[in-house]
Structure 1
Amino acid sequence: MSVTGRIAAVLAAALATTGLLAPAPAHAAVSRAQLALRWAPIHYQDVDATGSHALGGKSDYLTRVDFDGDLSGRNNWDHAAQSGASFAAHVYYSVVETGSHWYITYFFFHPRDWIDHPFFETEHENDGEGVLLAIEKNDTDYGVLRSAVTVAHTNFYSYAPAGSTWTSGRESIDGTLQMQSSPHDSFQHPVTAQEARGHGLKAYPQYTINGDGLVYYPSTTAQTPSGTNDRDVQYALIDIFADGGLWAQRANANLFANLGTFAGDTSGDCGVGTFSCGTNSANAPWGWDDGDDLPGRGELATDPAKLSAEYFTVPGTLSRSYTYNPYSSAAAALKEAARTAPRVTD
């Protein structure tokens, strides 16, 4: 060490002893709700207003599972057409955590998965699709976004943002995850999109708006679209793990036909003028499954570190040990449901 370096070290030690030089205080960690809001997608929703099952476009609006004031899954098709139905925009989320990463699942709900023709497609009550984001922890509050895996019906699609260190693994990366600034905060957000009617979800612009459509922005406010072509609709987030929330309701037989599958029937005009109406045909995140991929049913949400290790080649540390994962409380039941539950063809 040079003379100058020795003098600096002695001075620093003296100042520390007198209390004049103290370590910088550690900043408080952000909450899971703050983390989910920071990374929540800007979301493009295509809208089709044609045909009676479209409800003038409202069948493509995002809403919450209890948009009709109850937690029954078997009346949502019918209640979507009633004047008291709320289409205030909400998106569900869950956060699980390992020592190296946060994993945030976003779940987008529609009361109807619908079609407007009679040819070889099935519509059904309830519709749930979404996206998993993997966030690597670093020395910043919110970490760095490394990947996304989206749910489009019974297929998963993987993406990485520009500059990500994650590359293709057992599955090939399907595209680049776009980022976009929001007029409602100071962050760049990932951009996702859903098709009209069937609501498959991919990274924008693999799906985009064709004609009328809505652009949803994450917020703490739940706005109702002003019409079918509203390009600035704020949505609020709902924690799946909240007291009385979706996870707490997982054994509610009025809402779920089995673990992870929403209950739905053929009441009302579901299937009328179309090929058919399916029953029990939509999944919550712990029921999502891409049947020809290695991760099991629901593991996109319940064991996202496993899915990430399968889908991507990850440099550095990818911890598989969870420090926070409420899904693990039902691990045995989820495994049995994966073995016995009927395959949903949403």
Structure 2
Amino acid sequence: MRGRSRIALVIARVLAGVLAGVGPAAPAHAAVSREQLALRWAPIHYQDVDATGDHALGGRSDYITAYDFDGDLSGRNNWDRTGAGSMAATAYYSVVETSSHWYLTYFFYHPRDWVDHPFFETEHENDGEGLLLTVERDGSDYGLLRSAVTVAHSDFYSYTPVGSTWSSGRESVDGTLQTQSSPHDSFQHPVTAQEAKGHGLKAYPQYNINGDGIVYYPSTVAEAPANGDDRDVRYQLVDIFAPGGLWAQRTNTALFASLGTFAGDTSGGCGQGTYSCGTNSANSPWGWDDGNDVPARGELASDPARLVTEYFTIPAAVSRTYTYNPYRSELAELARLDKVAPRPED
């Protein structure tokens, strides 16, 4: 009996080690595609619009669009072509998975980050900000929404929806993530908002529409706003990991100046009549960074399980082992660049 007990103890320890390595098992759930999951939780998005000033282009500079809205993959002519390119509403998403959670990153692109005065504020070509949603895999088709972390320039802000069991961790929760019904589907969606000009993104109503503005709804079609005060515009979701898509272009030197940083210059009048125009100043999701926080540059998208365990106190188990995460191939390079290169400011 003593020998059998010893063997049983060894087996128990081995099994415990295996389970610790893979994280908690996911509850059984009906299969939905990553595309369906991203569409279900995609935010209803309030975009403030400022139509005044030469760089506003009558409000077009505040419309969300595709990063290749002008028909090419150069990042250095997007400021110049904002007045002529397509303003069909587009947003980008990625889904990263563990056995316990889905992590949904959403990326909103503007060709210009602009100002309308000459005083101590820099504008720049290209602008990319967004958010991370964490959804608990509870056995249902779409899971339970637990948190959001948004990107406003070079700072992150954290939110929880009503009923979430998550609370402040190393970072304080900044507010409540509201939800709203969409006229285009049957779901309650989280609600986000971006300011005009600089396009910082927070949970609604921490930013809101002030006068003119556009309300964007998630969809599978891309509509262009009728004007700068259009309150029902559908935006199309595009997978960051799609063949030939944004992630596939990460080493394209026409589009990116370095890993996670869009290429931008001072052509087309950027900086004229203002304080200055920055170059190579916008970031993709794998370049987002809050330099005052523990997670490294890019980890909001590439290692979200680490980020949420730093930002929140989470009562349930959180697996740190990814079952799907195409970003992981670049984690070591991201960490190296984070130590040796200055961080671009969006």
TM-score, length-scaled by structure 1: 0.91
Determine if the alignment matches structure 1 residue 57 to structure 2 residue 59. Answer: yes
Q: How does 1:201-280 map to 2 (within 5 A)?
A: 201-280=201-280
Instruction: Write the letter of the residue equivalent to 1:73.
Output: G
- Check conservation: 1:258, 1:341, Cα contact below 8 A: no
Cα distance in 2 between the residues matched to 1:250 and 1:230: 33
Instruction: Write the letter of the residue equivalent to 1:67.
Output: F
Instruction: Write the letter of the residue equivalent to 1:345.
Output: E
Please state how far the C-alpha of 1:329 moved relative to its aligned partner.
1.3
Cα distance in 1 between the residues matched to 2:270 and 2:205: 30
Q: How does 1:62-211 map to 2 (within 5 A)?
A: 62-82=64-84, 85-211=85-211
Instruction: Write the deviation string for residues 299-327 of structure 1: whole angstroms up to 9, x where unpaired.
Output: 00000000000000001111100000000
Please state how far the C-alpha of 1:342 moved relative to its aligned partner.
2.0
- Check conservation: 1:104, 1:134, Cα contact below 8 A: yes
Instruction: Write the deviation string for residues 72-112 of structure 1: whole angstroms up to 9, x where unpaired.
Output: 10000001122xx1000000000000010000000000000
Instruction: Write the deviation string for residues 161-188 of structure 1: whole angstroms up to 9, x where unpaired.
Output: 0010000000000000000000000000
Instruction: Write the deviation string for residues 102-134 of structure 1: whole angstroms up to 9, x where unpaired.
Output: 000000000000000001000000000000000
What are the ranges of 5 or more consecutive residues in structure 2 without an aligned counterpart? 1-27
SS of match in other structure, 1:131:
strand
SS of match in other structure, 1:79:
coil
Cα distance in 1 between the residues matched to 2:47 and 2:340: 34
What is residue 34 of structure 2 aligned with on the other side?
Answer: 32
Instruction: Write the letter of the residue equivalent to 1:216.
Output: Y
Cα distance in 1 between the residues matched to 2:332 and 2:179: 38
SS of match in other structure, 1:56:
helix
Identity %: 75
What is residue 337 of structure 2 aligned with on the other side?
Answer: 337
What is residue 289 of structure 1 aligned with on the other side?
Answer: 289
SS of match in other structure, 2:127:
strand
Bigger Rg, structure 1 or 2: 1
Determine if the alignment matches structure 1 residue 325 to structure 2 residue 329. Answer: no
SS of match in other structure, 2:253:
coil
Instruction: Write the letter of the residue equivalent to 1:294.
Output: V
What are the ranges of 5 or more consecutive residues in structure 1 without an aligned counterpart? 1-25
Please state how far the C-alpha of 1:228 moved relative to its aligned partner.
0.5
Instruction: Write the letter of the residue equivalent to 2:317.
Output: T
SS of match in other structure, 1:286:
helix
TM-score, length-scaled by structure 2: 0.91
What is residue 7 of structure 1 aligned with on the other side?
Answer: none
Cα distance in 2 between the residues matched to 1:253 and 1:81: 24
SS of match in other structure, 1:78:
coil
Please state how far the C-alpha of 1:339 moved relative to its aligned partner.
1.7
SS of match in other structure, 1:76:
coil
- Check conservation: 2:30, 2:140, Cα contact below 8 A: no
Instruction: Evaluate the alpha carbon distance shift between residue 154 and residue 27 of structure 1 in structure 2; reply closer, same or farther with a 3 A threshold.
Output: closer
- Check conservation: 2:29, 2:139, Cα contact below 8 A: no
Instruction: Write the letter of the residue equivalent to 2:190.
Output: P
Q: How does 1:4-19 map to 2 (within 5 A)?
A: none
What is residue 42 of structure 1 aligned with on the other side?
Answer: 44
Dislocated runs of 4+, deviation >3 Å? none
Please state how far the C-alpha of 1:27 moved relative to its aligned partner.
6.9
Please state how far the C-alpha of 1:343 moved relative to its aligned partner.
1.4
Q: How much is the aligned-residue C-alpha RMSD, in angstroms?
A: 0.9
